[in-house]
Amino acid sequence: MSAHDLVVRGATVVDGTGAPGRDADVAVDADRIVTVGEVSGSGATELDGRGLVLAPGWIDTHTHLDANQFWDPYLTPCSRYGVTTVVLANCGYALAPLTTPEQREYVIEALVTVEQVPRDAIDAAVPFDWSDHASYVDAIARVETALNRAVLVGHLPVRAAVMGPEAACRRAATPAEIDAICALVTDGLRLGALGFSTDQVVGNVGPAGSALPGQVCDDAELLAVARALGSVPGPGLLTMAPRALLLDAEHRRADLAWHEQLAAASRKPVVIGPVFDTYDEPGVGLDLLDAMGAAQARGRQVVGQVSPRPFELWTRLDAPGVLVRVLPTLSAAVQAGGADAVRHLARDPEAMDRLRTEGARIRPSLIFSGRWDHVHIRYSPRSGDLRDRDVETIAAARGEDPVDVLIDTAIGDDFETQFAIAMRSPDDARLGALVGHPAAQLGGSDAGAHTQSNTDSCYAVWTLQHWVRERGVLALEAAVAMLTSRQADLFGLRDRGRIAPGTHADLVLFDPARVGIDDVRYVADLPAGGTRLVAEPVGIAASVVNGTVVTRDGNITGARPGTLLRGA
C-alpha cells in the first residue's frame, strides 16, 4: 500500500508566491497537496523531479475554447504547455443563453467572424442542447475535460437574448432592456460565472459586417452591468477588449477614465487587454500601465493584461492580405491569378524592380509600419532555419532586397509561408519593459481562436523561454507567480495557483533549461477535417490536474480530472 496517491520527488519547488525555489518532495492525496518538504512514504504514482522545476499549473484566463471543449476534451494545445485551468467566454463571445435559432446563429457567426473559430467544426461537434445559463452550465459540467474550466457571462448572447440579434448589434438598450440584461448577468454569476466580458474595440467587425454589442451599447448599460457585478458575491470581474485598443495614445489614455468609472461602479476588478506598445508611439504601453498602477493606488482595480508576445497579423503571399495590399504590383498579380501569377511575376525582372521600389516606400499605417524588421517568418515548411527571423535581417545577410526574400520564400514553400506583421509591440526590448512592469498581468493567449494565424496559446512556456531564459527580464519565480497565483487571486480561484498543503494539486513539472516552443506546424485534427496552427511544446515533463497526471513528456495521458470552477 502506498502512503500517498502521488509523490513528486526531488524537484525544485517554485511555489507560485514569488518566493525562491527550494528542493522538496510534494505529496498529494486525492485532489489536494498534503505535504511540501520531505516525504518518506511512497506514492501510487511517482514523478521523478530531479533536475526539474515543479510549479503550480498555469492559469490561462483569456481563452476562446467555448466550442473546442465539445470536440477536444483535452483542451490542446493548452494542456500540453502545462496549463491546468482555462477561463472561457472572453471578449463577450459566450455560448449561453441561446433561446432561439436566430440567437444561436448570431452567436456562432460572431465566434466565427471575430475569433475565427471554424464554422464546420462548430456545426459538427457542438450539440447546442441548452437554452438558458442553467442548462448551459449543466451541459458543460457533463463534458469531462482534462483541465479545469471557468466561464464568464458574454455580452453578445445576453444582449441577443434580451433585444434579439438584429437590435443587439444596432442600437442602445432601453432602461427595461438594461434591467433584463442585468438580470441575466446576475443569473450567470449565481451559477458560477467569474464575471462578464465584452468587446468594445473600435475597428472590430461582427457577423456580416455588423457592429458589435460593445460598440453600440451606451455607457449607462455597462455601468448598470458593473453595478450588477458588484451586487453578487464572488469575483465579478468585468473583462474587456477596450474601445481604443487600436487607436492612438490620446484615445487610449482617455479610455482609462471609462475603465476607472466601471471599476468604481462594480468595486471589482476591471481587466483591460491587451495592453501593448506601438511602433509610432513608443512608450504608450508603459504610460498606460503606469496610469493603471496609479488608479490601483486610488482603490480602482483597473488591471492591464499584457501579452508576452508581439501582437501579430499572420498573412500569406497568395491571398489579398495586408502584405500583399501594400505592394501594388504584387496585389495586381494575386488578384489576376493567385500563386501562379506571383510565380510569373518573379520571372519578370522589370516587375521585380518595380516591386522592390514599392517595398522601399510603403506608407506606414495603423496596422503596418512598413518596416521589414517588423515582419517575421513564423511558419515555413521548407526553410525551417528562417523561422522567427525577420525579413530585413535575412535580406541583409544574403545581400538581397527584402522583397526578394518574401517572394523566394513564399514560392519555395508553395505559398504556405506565414509572414507575421507585428501590428503592436514590435520592439522586443519595449515589450520586455511591459512584461516586467509591476502593474502588468500576463494574458492574451486567445487559445481556440484564430486557428490559421495565431499560436499565442503558448504564452506561458514562451514567457519562461523568452523573458526568463533568453532575455532575463523576469526571474523564474516572478514569472511563475504571474502565470499562477496572481491569475488565481485576480479571478477569484480559491486554493489554486500555489503549491502549499491544502491547495488543489494542479501542477506542472518542467526543465527550466529547455522549456519553451519548437516547431510551428499545421495539425489536421479539427472536426470536419479542419486544420490549425500549433506551436510544439518542449521541456514539459508532466502536468497534474486535481491530483491526476494529465500529460507526460508533452503527451496526453487520457485522464480527464478537470472540474468546472465556480466563482460565487
Residues forming the site for Zn ion (CB under 5 A): 90-91
Residues 6+ apart with CB under 8 A from 540: 80, 81, 82, 461, 508, 509, 510, 515, 551, 553, 554
Quote the CA–CA distance of 521 and 536 in Å, as a whole number.
8
Closer to Zn ion by CB, 91 or 391: give it: 91
Closer to Zn ion by CB, 369 or 441: give it: 441
Both ends of the chain: CA-CA distance in Å?
A: 39
Q: Where are the alpha helices (DSSP H) in 300-362?
A: 322-325, 328-346, 349-360
- CB 375 within 8 Å of CB 323: yes
- CB 362 within 8 Å of CB 331: no
CB 62 → Zn ion: shortest distance, Å? 6
Closer to Zn ion by CB, 91 or 355: give it: 91
Torsion of CA 447, 451, 454, 458, to 10 degrees: 40
Residues 6+ apart with CB under 8 A from 286: 277, 430, 433, 434, 437
Closest of 395, 374, 412, 377 to residue 520, by C-alpha:
377
CB 15 → Zn ion: shortest distance, Å? 30
Closer to Zn ion by CB, 137 or 271: give it: 271
Closer to Zn ion by CB, 188 or 444: give it: 444
Closer to Zn ion by CB, 115 or 277: give it: 115
3-state SS class at 393: helix
Closer to Zn ion by CB, 240 or 474: give it: 240
CB 494 → Zn ion: shortest distance, Å? 25
Closer to Zn ion by CB, 52 or 108: give it: 108
- CB 40 within 8 Å of CB 66: no
Strands 43-48 and 4-13, bridge-based pairing: parallel
Closer to Zn ion by CB, 91 or 394: give it: 91
CB 273 → Zn ion: shortest distance, Å? 8
Closer to Zn ion by CB, 90 or 148: give it: 90
Q: CB atoms < 10 A from the CB of 399, how many? A: 6
Closer to Zn ion by CB, 54 or 94: give it: 94
**Nine-digit cell string for 500:** 502549499
CB 91 → Zn ion: shortest distance, Å? 4
Closest of 163, 385, 159, 429 to residue 277, by C-alpha:
429
The single residue listed with the C-alpha cell 525551417 is 384
What is the distance of C-alpha 334 from the center of its chain? 32
Name the residue with the smallest CB distance to Zn ion: 91
Q: Where are the alpha helices (DSSP H) in 48-100?
A: 68-71
Which helix (H) or strand (E) is 256 found in, with range? helix 249-266
CB 435 → Zn ion: shortest distance, Å? 19
Quote the CA–CA distance of 131 and 231 in Å, as a whole number.
25
CB 319 → Zn ion: shortest distance, Å? 24
Closer to Zn ion by CB, 90 or 186: give it: 90
Residues 6+ apart with CB under 8 A from 3: 27, 39, 40, 41, 42, 43
Could you list the beta-strand ranges (E) of 257-348.
270-275, 302-306, 311-315
Closer to Zn ion by CB, 152 or 342: give it: 152
Closer to Zn ion by CB, 35 or 61: give it: 61
Quote the CA–CA distance of 45 and 545 in Å, as a whole number.
14
The single residue listed with the C-alpha cell 436566430 is 102
- Per the document, the length of the chain is 568
**Is the backbone peptide bond immediately before 97 cis, with ω within 30 degrees of 0?**
yes
Helix/strand/coil (H/E/C) assignment for every residue in 396-452: HHHCCCHHHHHHHHHHHCCCCCEEEEEEECCCHHHHHHHHCCCCEEECCCCECCCCC
- CB 294 within 8 Å of CB 301: no
CB 245 → Zn ion: shortest distance, Å? 11
- CB 95 within 8 Å of CB 157: yes
Strands 302-306 and 375-379, bridge-based pairing: unpaired
